[in-house]
């Protein structure tokens, strides 16, 4: 089962490698990862997506909790959470088909960020299903390159 | 009444324990003793209850250090920090990037440095010191190879939860990452095997880092902490300001057990008819022997111990069933298998204990008490998990049981266990042995008898001798049996014995070694000789890598691939090279006197005992088998022979009509192996007691006497 882990960690060198090292050491593959500082500059927020059954997942979180650099772990899998990811698509676009692609991008509220002689670069944010849908449509034109930031997530019903 | 008595004793012991008899050590100032007592919990109500702040407080003068406020270099601050933590011994090996720290050490009057002959030896020595005293071991080494040589030692300490502070020199900050001379990313290399690590970034954080390191290493589930110090910081100036407290919002180990869980545990213990206390190293770390003993005695619960838990419960106690697991006794393994409640105390259901998991204790509920929440439910589901300090949790359970006036209701269970214990001993004098060969079991039994359990520490290497030592060396108090349990590090025992002897100069320290293990850190003979550490090394010398050899014998058709060691070195000649004393014995008749000579020597001493390669450690649960599938246990009911020997290795016992008795069925004939009804001594579903109407047990005892007699006669003739 897929789990979205939201981890609050020390914003110090080496912390990312402690966290990811521990997850891989316990035999799990990190599907997606994003890290960045939070409102408190001494802390970073790390969002990781891992595939694990419930027992293994519990073991990962307990082991992560043991790291001195880890403050808090939230499982955003089952809670109502906002998930976002940013993706850049470089799509084949001969001049006569540009408009079709721009139209698709507009429907998905994606932005055209670069226009080349035979390609368009589109920036899109959203949850997994939206980005997947967009990708499927672009495949028809031929996707040259995709880069994605990795998923970030925040619980919706926060107490404050 | 009984409870108050025990609590007073435990409080007293806790102090004695933190400040062992070896008060003569030079750092033991009166002042620090007073500070310590102020920190000790007061009032009988919460004697057993400790907090991380109390456990992790500096054991030295802390901020009251005379150097507080002085301007000094980073290197001097490292030494001053160690002094503030009350460190008396440091183990290490100097080198380029540690030069400044070693220069500062030259002035220290408080700290004695023990120069190892290899960095691995230094870490094991610090580890042995920590295990024997309960205080953190400290290591200083240089960068690059010095640092990488510590890895095995750090991993060993990590697996066995030993508090260590490892200070490594590092190349100057400006050249980190440029592959400069003797540079290694030791923080990166050791990341999976440390509890925490620091790469010092500025001298401003130096004292905080040291305080945090000691706090983290000693509290919660202890472990090694590494501090990597770039050498340019060692010469930078700072004002020495040592803190007493730590601020670690992300690190708050749970000491106090949840009361609701404790109440549940109490109710479950009251209900249990076949309970077992499964005891690991956590009891020793938590200093909870008295609380454990109180619980075992109050509810009459048999105790089995892991390798790390040996000494946590006195061997002489009638409820102690001793070692459990792969080479544990058959009776301990049967008790685990048959139990209806396992109370796991600071133990982690290692594969060496459980055997095949699906067959492990199939009828038992588990109460799992551990300070590390990640251990609970990791291997075996716990019906009642309790995260907390064993000392407080067990005291809480005992006082609740006393308050409820709970009575043990497992008398038939204890009786059954005791029948098993008599029937399947570890060793029996009727076992046929070759008369001209020294029997390893008897060597260790004799040694055990000669040692004063209060004033001795036994350290082992890894291999057959380690298992024999676990089976035959009787230990009465915690921290008197040291062995590499989790990592199984050959080469650990000898240096660890040196460290233990330094930490506890009042104790006789014997290292039981194999010829293979001893050769992994032989260079430390120099460390022992030069520092006048009177450590004793008893080599069980079979000129092979015995445990692997045994597995090859049993499971690889005797294909002894690379396990036979040539008959070199001559260990006795080696003793001369290092200015030790020593001798070799090959004749069983010489054993007794040789052991006496070893124990009476006041210099480092090596006794090389020749034993046969053909000896095997039994009983044994083959890897992948269930804990109830014990090979090679002695069964006195069929005439003190080893039973259920593996087919490929036929040391065939004389066939006996009783050989079919299935030990698991309470001594009944194995007429119906699927009969799972109540057994002799147990109650039926309707509450009626099953008695031995047909006199099965009596008949069986009679028969075994008959079969045993001719056997023992023939053996007596054969024995010397």
State the CATH number of the domain containing residue B570: 3.40.50.970
pLDDT band at B18 (very low <50, low <70, confident <90, very high): very low
Residues B605 and B662 in one domain: no
Average the pLDDT over each of B2-16, B353-367, B508-522, B536-550 and give the range with the smallest value.
B2-16
**Mean pLDDT, chain B, whole residue set:** 87
Query: What was the pLDDT predicted at B659?
Result: 37
ipTM of the complex: 0.86
Q: How many residues belong to chain B?
A: 720
* Band of pLDDT at residue A158, cut at 50, 70 and 90: low
Domain CATH for A98: 3.30.70.1150
**CA closest to B380 among chain A residues:** A55
pLDDT reading at B655 higher than 60: no
Please name the member of B187, B196, B372 whose beta carbon is closest to the beta carbon of A68. Answer: B196
Which range of residues forms the domain containing residue B558?
440-610
Look up the CATH number of the domain holding residue A57. 3.30.70.260
Q: State the pLDDT confidence band at B678, using cuts at 50, 70 and 90.
A: low
Helices (H), B184-258: 186-190, 206-218, 231-235
Asked if residue B126 is part of any domain, the answer here is: yes
Q: Does residue A9 lie in a domain region?
A: yes
The answer to whether B657 contacts chain A (CB < 8 Å) is: no
Residues B656 and B606 in one domain: no
A62, A87: one domain? no
Using DSSP's 3-state secondary structure scheme, residue B49 falls into: coil
Yes or no: say if A8 and A45 are a contact pair by the CB < 8 Å rule.
Answer: yes
pLDDT score of B38: 37
pLDDT exceeds 80 at position B392: yes
Q: How far apart are CA A116 and CA A95, in angstroms?
A: 9
What is the DSSP secondary structure assignment for residue B355, as one 8-state letter? Answer: B
pLDDT tens per residue across span B576-630? 999 999 999 999 999 999 999 999 999 999 999 999 999 999 999 998 899 989 9
Q: Please say which residue of B610, B638, B666 terminates a domain.
A: B610
Of B239, B254, B280, the residue that ends a domain is: B239
Which residues of chain A have a CB within 8 Å of the CB of B191? 14, 17-18, 21
| Residue where one domain finishes, among candidates A37, A53, A75 | A75
Alpha-carbon distance values, B224 to B2, B145, B215 (Å): 39, 19, 11
**Residues A65 and A111 occupy one common structural domain:** no
**pLDDT surpasses 70 at B4:** no
Q: For residue range B690-715, what is the model confidence (pLDDT) as tens digits?
A: 766 655 555 555 555 544 444 433 33
Give the per-residue pLDDT at A159. 57
Cα B320 to Cα B279, B306, B627: the distances in Å are: 10, 12, 19
| Cβ-based contacts under 8 A for chains A and B | 37
Instruction: Please report which confidence band the pLDDT of residue B646 belongs to, taking 50, 70 and 90 as the band edges.
Output: confident
Q: Mean pLDDT, to the nearest integer, of B364-379? A: 96
CB contact under 8 Å between A71 and B249, yes or no, is yes
Assigned domain for B357 exists: no
- The Cα–Cα gap between B365 and A137 comes to 55
**What's the pLDDT score for residue B712?**
39
Q: What is the pLDDT of residue B21?
A: 36
Residue A111 sits in the same domain as residue A137: yes
Q: Supply the pLDDT for residue A79.
A: 78
What pLDDT does residue B219 have?
97
Distance from B226 to chain A by nearest Cα, in Å? 13
Q: What digits encode the pLDDT tens for the residues B122-146?
A: 999 999 999 999 999 999 999 999 9
More confident site: B399 or B28: B399
Q: Which residues of A touch B192 (CB under 8 A)?
A: 21-22, 25
B373 and A65 in contact by Cβ < 8 A? yes
Band the pLDDT of B686: cuts 50, 70, 90: confident
The pLDDT > 70 percentage for chain A reads 98
Domain for residue B689, yes or no?
A: yes
Q: Do A14 and B192 touch (CB under 8 A)?
A: no
Alpha helices per DSSP H over B272-329 = 281-285, 289-299
Distance CA B539, CA B596 (A): 15
pLDDT category of residue B676 using cuts at 50, 70 and 90: low
To the nearest 10 degrees (0 to 180), the angle between helices B259-271 and B390-403 is 60
CB B504 within 8 A of CB B131: no
Which of B1-5, B16-20, B285-289, B638-642 holds the top average pLDDT?
A: B285-289
Considering its fold, how many domains does chain B have in total? 3
- B603 and B662 share a domain? no
pLDDT at B12: 39
Range of the domain at A114: 82-155
Angstroms from B393 CA to nearest CA on chain A:
21
Does B654 lie in the same domain as B574? no
Which residues have a Cβ under 8 Å from the Cβ of B379 and sit 6 or more positions away? B348, B349, B350, B354, B357
User: Are A9 and A67 part of one and the same domain?
Assistant: yes
Task: Tell me how far apart the alpha carbons of residues B234 and B75 are, in angstroms, rounded to a whole number.
Answer: 4
Same domain, A46 and A89: no
Residues B454 and B570 placed together within one structural domain of the fold: yes
Q: Is the pLDDT of residue A96 over 70?
A: yes
Do the domain assignments include residue A160? Answer: no
Tell me whether residue B393 is in a domain: no
**Same domain as A118, residue A59:** no
Nearest to B251 among A21, A59, A68 (CB): A68
Taking 70 as the threshold, does the pLDDT of residue B675 lie above it? no
Higher pLDDT residue, B687 or A86? Answer: A86
Q: Which chain B residue has the Cα nearest residue A13?
A: B199
B548 and B675 part of one domain: no
For residue B365, the distance in angstroms to the closest alpha carbon of chain A comes to: 18
State the nearest Cα–Cα gap between A49 and chain B, in angstroms: 20
Domain boundary among A75, A108, A136: A75
| Cβ distance of B374 and A71 shorter than 8 Å | no
Cα B697 to chain centroid, rounded? 38
User: Least CB-CB distance to A14: which of B192, B199, B378?
Assistant: B199
**Whether residues B550 and B682 fall in one domain:** no
How close does chain A come to B200, measured CA to CA in Å?
11
Same domain, B673 and B571: no
Contact B340, B357 (CB under 8 A): no
pLDDT for A156: 83
B636-651: average pLDDT: 72
**Beta partners for B631?**
B620
Note whether A86 and A68 are same-domain residues.
no
Q: Mark whether B125 and B216 lie in a shared domain.
A: yes
How far off is chain A from B195, nearest CA to CA, in Å?
A: 7
Do A25 and B216 lie within an 8 Å CB cutoff? no
Task: Tell me the nearest-neighbour CA distance from A48 into chain B, angstroms.
Answer: 19
Same domain? B602 vs B652? no
- The arithmetic mean of pLDDT across residues B366-385, rounded, is 96
Q: Is the pLDDT confidence value at B401 over 70?
A: yes
**Average pLDDT for B242-265:** 96
Instruction: Give the number of residues written for chain A.
Output: 160
**Cβ separation A65–B372 shorter than 8 A:** no
What confidence tens digit (pLDDT) does each residue in B102-128 have?
999 999 999 999 999 999 999 999 999
User: Measured at the alpha carbon of residue B655, what is the angle toward residues B649 and B658, in degrees to the nearest 5?
Assistant: 120
Q: Which residue has the higher pLDDT, B473 or B17?
A: B473
The pLDDT assigned to B323 comes to 96
pLDDT digits (tens, 9 = 90+) for B442-470: 999 999 999 999 999 999 999 999 999 99
Structure-model confidence comparison of residues A81 and B321, the more confident one:
B321
Verify that B112 and B222 share a domain, yes or no: yes
A89 CA to chain B: closest CA distance, Å?
35
Q: Which long-range contacts (CB under 8 A, 24 or more apart) does A50-59 make?
A: A50/A2, A50/A3, A50/A5, A50/A23, A51/A1, A51/A2, A51/A3, A52/A1, A52/A3, A52/A28, A53/A1, A54/A1, A55/B377, A56/A26, A56/A27, A56/A28, A57/A1, A57/A3, A58/B377, A59/A26, A59/B374, A59/B377, A59/B378
Which pLDDT does position B568 carry in this prediction?
A: 83
Do the Cβ atoms of B194 and B225 come closer than 8 Å? yes
- Yes or no, beta carbons of A25 and B378 under 8 Å apart: no
Query: Among the three residues A53, A75, A97, which one is the final residue of a domain in this structure?
Result: A75
Tell which of B213, B239, B265 closes a domain: B239
pLDDT at residue B418 in the model:
95
Mean pLDDT value across residues B345-372: 95
Question: Do the Cβ atoms of A63 and B374 come within 8 Å?
Answer: yes
- Contact criterion met (CB < 8 Å) for A13 and B199: yes
With respect to residue A7, please indicate whether it lies within any of the assigned structural domains. Answer: yes
How confident is residue B22, by pLDDT bands cut at 50, 70 and 90? very low
If one counts the domains in chain A, the total is: 2
pLDDT of B671 over the 70 cut? no
| pLDDT score at B151 | 98
Q: Mutation test of the interface with chain A: which of B251, B349, B368, B376, choosing the one with the most A Cβ atoms within 10 A?
A: B251
- Residues A51 and A108 placed together within one structural domain of the fold: no
Give residue-wise pLDDT tens across range B547-572: 999 999 988 889 999 999 988 899 99
For residue B696, the model assigns a pLDDT of 54
In a domain, B541, yes or no: yes
Q: Is A149 found in the same domain as A90? A: yes
**pLDDT level of residue B48 (50, 70, 90 thresholds):** low
Judged against a pLDDT cut of 80, whether residue B43 lies above it is answered with: no
Residues of B (359-388) whose Cβ lies below 8 Å from A: 372-374, 377-378
A55 and A71 fall within a common domain: yes
Nearest residue on chain A to B194, alpha-carbon basis: A67
Report the distance separating Cα B573 and Cα B553, nearest Å: 31
- Could you tell me which chain B residue has the CA closest to the CA of A10? B250
pLDDT of residue B283: 98
Query: Which of residues 114 through 173 in chain B touch A, CB cutoff 8 A?
Result: none
Q: Which residues of B touch A44 (CB under 8 A)?
A: none
pLDDT at position B39 is 39
Whether residues B527 and B655 share a domain: the answer is: no
With 0.80 as the threshold, say if the pTM is over it: yes
CA distance B374 to chain A (A): 5
Q: What is the pLDDT of residue B641?
A: 84
**Whether pLDDT at B291 is above 90:** yes
Domain co-membership, A47 together with A110: no
Instruction: For residue B187, list chain A residues with Cβ-Cβ distance below 8 A.
Output: 14
**Which structure tokens are listed for B253?**
């180990």
Which residue of A17, A63, A68 is in closest CB contact with B248? A68
Q: Is residue B415 part of a domain?
A: no
């Amino acid at each position: 089962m897929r789990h979205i882990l939201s981890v609050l960690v020390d914003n110090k060198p080496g912390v990312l490698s402690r966290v990811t090292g521990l997850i891989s050491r316990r035999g799990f593959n990190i599907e997606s990862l994003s890290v960045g500082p939070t409102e408190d500059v001494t802390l970073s927020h790390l969002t990781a997506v891992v595939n694990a059954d419930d027992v293994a997942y519990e073991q990962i979180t307990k082991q992560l909790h043991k790291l001195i650099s880890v403050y808090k772990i939230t499982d955003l899998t089952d809670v109502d959470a906002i998930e976002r990811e940013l993706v850049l698509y470089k799509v084949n676009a001969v001049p006569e088909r540009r408009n079709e692609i721009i139209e698709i991008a507009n429907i998905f509220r994606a932005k055209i960020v670069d226009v080349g002689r035979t390609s368009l670069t589109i920036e899109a944010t959203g949850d997994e299903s939206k980005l997947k849908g967009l990708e499927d449509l672009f495949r028809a034109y031929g996707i040259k390159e995709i880069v994605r930031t990795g998923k970030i997530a925040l619980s919706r019903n926060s107490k404050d | 009444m009984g409870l108050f008595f025990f609590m007073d004793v435990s409080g007293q012991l806790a102090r004695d324990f933190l400040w062992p008899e070896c008060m003569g050590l030079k750092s033991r100032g009166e002042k620090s003793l007073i500070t310590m007592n102020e920190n000790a919990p007061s009032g009988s109500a919460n004697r057993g209850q400790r907090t991380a702040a109390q456990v992790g407080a500096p054991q030295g003068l802390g901020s009251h250090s005379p150097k507080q406020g002085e301007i000094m270099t980073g290197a001097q601050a490292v030494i001053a920090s160690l002094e503030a933590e009350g460190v008396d011994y440091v183990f290490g090996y100097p080198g380029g990037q540690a030069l400044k720290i070693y220069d500062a050490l030259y002035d220290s009057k408080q700290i004695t440095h023990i120069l190892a002959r290899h960095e691995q030896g230094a870490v094991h020595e610090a580890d042995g010191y920590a295990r024997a005293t309960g205080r953190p071991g400290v290591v200083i080494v240089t960068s690059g190879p010095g640092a990488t040589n510590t890895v095995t030692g750090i991993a060993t300490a990590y697996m066995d939860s030993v508090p260590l502070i490892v200070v490594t020199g590092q190349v100057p900050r400006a050249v980190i990452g440029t592959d400069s001379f003797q540079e290694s990313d030791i923080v990166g290399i050791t990341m999976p095997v440390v509890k925490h690590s620091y790469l010092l970034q500025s001298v401003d954080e130096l004292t905080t880092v040291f305080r945090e390191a000691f706090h983290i290493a000693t509290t919660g589930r202890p472990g090694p902490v590494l501090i990597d110090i770039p050498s340019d910081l060692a010469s930078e100036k700072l004002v020495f300001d040592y803190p007493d407290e730590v601020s670690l919002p992300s690190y708050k180990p749970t000491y106090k057990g949840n009361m609701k869980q404790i109440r549940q545990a109490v109710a479950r213990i009251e209900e249990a008819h076949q309970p077992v206390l499964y005891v690991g190293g956590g009891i020793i770390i938590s200093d909870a022997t008295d609380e454990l003993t109180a619980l075992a005695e109050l509810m009459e619960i048999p105790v089995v111990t892991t390798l790390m838990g040996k000494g946590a419960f006195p061997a002489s106690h009638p409820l102690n069933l001793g070692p459990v697991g792969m080479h544990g006794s058959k009776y301990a393994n049967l008790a685990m298998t048959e139990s209806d409640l396992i109370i796991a105390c600071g133990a982690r259901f290692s594969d060496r204990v459980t055997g095949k998991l699906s067959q492990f204790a199939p009828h038992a509920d588990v109460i799992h008490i551990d300070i590390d929440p990640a251990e609970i439910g990791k291997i075996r589901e716990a019906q009642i998990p309790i995260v907390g300090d064993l000392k407080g949790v067990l005291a809480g359970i005992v006082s609740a049981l006393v308050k409820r006036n709970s009575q043990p209701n497992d008398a038939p269970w204890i009786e059954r266990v005791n029948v098993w214990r008599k029937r399947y001993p570890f060793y029996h004098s009727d076992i046929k042995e070759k008369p001209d060969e020294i029997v390893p079991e008897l060597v260790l039994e004799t040694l055990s008898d000669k040692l004063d359990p209060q004033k001795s520490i036994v350290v082992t290497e890894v291999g057959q001798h380690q298992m024999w030592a676990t089976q035959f060396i009787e230990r009465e108090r915690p921290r008197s049996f040291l062995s590499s349990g989790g990592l199984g590090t050959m080469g650990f025992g000898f240096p660890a014995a040196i460290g233990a002897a330094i930490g506890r100069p009042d104790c006789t320290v014997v290292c039981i070694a194999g010829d293979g293990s001893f050769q992994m850190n032989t260079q430390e003979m120099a460390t022992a000789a030069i520092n006048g550490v009177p450590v004793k090394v008893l080599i069980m010398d079979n000129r092979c890598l015995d445990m692997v050899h045994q597995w090859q014998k049993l499971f690889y058709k005797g294909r002894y691939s690379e396990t036979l060691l040539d008959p070199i070195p001559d260990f006795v000649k080696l003793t001369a090279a290092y200015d030790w004393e020593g001798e070799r014995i090959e004749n069983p008749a010489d054993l007794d006197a040789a052991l006496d000579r070893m124990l009476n020597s006041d210099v480092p001493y090596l006794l090389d005992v020749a034993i046969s390669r053909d000896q095997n450690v039994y009983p044994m649960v083959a890897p992948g088998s269930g804990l109830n599938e014990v090979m090679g246990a002695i069964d006195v009911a069929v005439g003190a022979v080893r039973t259920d020997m593996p087919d490929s290795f036929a040391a065939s016992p004389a066939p006996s009509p009783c050989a079919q008795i299935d030990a698991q069925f309470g001594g009944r004939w194995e007429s119906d192996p699927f009969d799972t009804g109540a057994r002799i001594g147990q109650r039926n579903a309707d509450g009626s007691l099953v008695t031995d109407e047909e006199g099965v047990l009596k008949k069986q005892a009679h028969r075994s006497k008959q079969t045993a007699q001719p056997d023992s006669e023939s053996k007596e003739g054969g024995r010397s």
